[in-house]
Amino acid sequence: MPKPSIQINEDIIRLLSFEISLNIGFRIRSKADCKALSAFISKKGFGTISVSTLYRLLVWKNNTHTPYLHTLDILAQVCGRENWAAFELFDDTRREYVQNLGNLAFKNKPSLLHFVIRNGNFEALSDYLRHVEGTLKEDQKFLLGLEVYNALAKMNDNKAFFDVFARNKEIRTGFFEYLADPDFNLNDYDYGLEKYLEASQSPSTTIGLQDRMFAHSLLLRWFFLNNNHARAKHHGRELYEDLIPSDSDWNQLHIFPKARYQCYKLFYFQLTNEKEKFDDQVKKLLKQFALKLLSTDEKRMLFHTIIDTFSYLPMEYQSYMRRRIFKEFKELFMYLPENFREKSFKDLAPYFSKNATDWYRFYGLITHEA
């Protein structure tokens, strides 16, 4: 009796590839990536899928997708789902929520939410956010953030939106935090983060401390890279002179703000010409994190933040960190093509980025067409 095969469309293939990539830590874009994924699947005990099957399903465009159900069950398990039926239910739930936001086509077409934001109908959006406050699941918060991001990406002036919604709980979480954009692709994004800071809780609370570290760090990096030294120094002073977390607070923080806080300290010491402090921070950077206690996902976040930071520092410091970082994070390279270790930090960084905006953009879920 032949194995059952299923015909599936491009939309669910894109979602499957996206979810697989999130779980394994690298994007599927070539035959070498498919080889690494095949090895990952086998070594993790999910089963066996050939490189050619993975390539046809996840990379080869204009292909009629009719994989075996057994193959789809394995890939669903890689995504953390029980089987393919569970993954399809996840897709259906995702589609239902996106349709609730007015994106009926689910193909990067402008949603109803987009037109609400574009026309400044903030009262309707405020009513909706009050209605769903506290009820959204994590994946729904990401989807809300994505819809807001895509709407703002088509706007020339976003200040009015930020004035109204920078203090809204769902927008702060789903858009500002989950869809954080270190490259500031949105118009007035710096203004938005300033409004986010104004609405943040006191730094005496863990949430207030984490929120302030998050926003000040993004602004420090952005202004440093764009040679706006005055504004970069301002946010550096806020971080390293005013926000000094206690050991208790530090232990409660998420790895992302902790990584940015310690890494971007190097940008600040460059701005203030404190070479001795700069050199000391380079040497003790890795010791400031309990690497053995971090999950693989947390290590990816830390690794990416380090190599992204050092890619903007003089080559002598990149060489110093390269000799140490590959040893400390060797497990992250177990399933990657062998030549990855030879890449520059700047070329390596996109493969390890855990910023949702980078992932959504890679899979065509973020668009900037007017």
CB 153 within 8 A of CB 183: no
3-state SS, 131-180, equals HHCCCCCHHHHHHHHHHHHHHHCCCCCCHHHHHHHCCCHHHHHHHHHCCC
Query: Which residues are CB-neighbours of 174 under 8 A, at least 6 positions away?
Result: 136, 141, 142, 143, 144, 145, 148
Q: How far is CA 313 from CA 146, 279, 346, in A?
A: 32, 12, 11
> How many residues does this entry show for the chain?
370
Residue 250: CB atoms within 10 Å: 14
CB 365 within 8 A of CB 20: no
Residue 367: CB atoms within 10 Å: 14
**Residues 115-131: what's their mean pLDDT?**
90
Choice among 24-33, 149-158, 186-195, 342-351 with the minimum mean pLDDT: 24-33
Query: Rg (Cα) of the chain, in Å, rounded?
Result: 22
Q: What is the pLDDT of residues 39-97, one digit of tens each?
A: 999 989 999 999 999 999 998 876 666 889 999 999 999 998 999 999 888 887 777 76
CA 179 to the chain's CA centroid: 7
Q: What is the pLDDT of residues 350-370, one digit of tens each?
A: 888 888 898 888 877 786 544
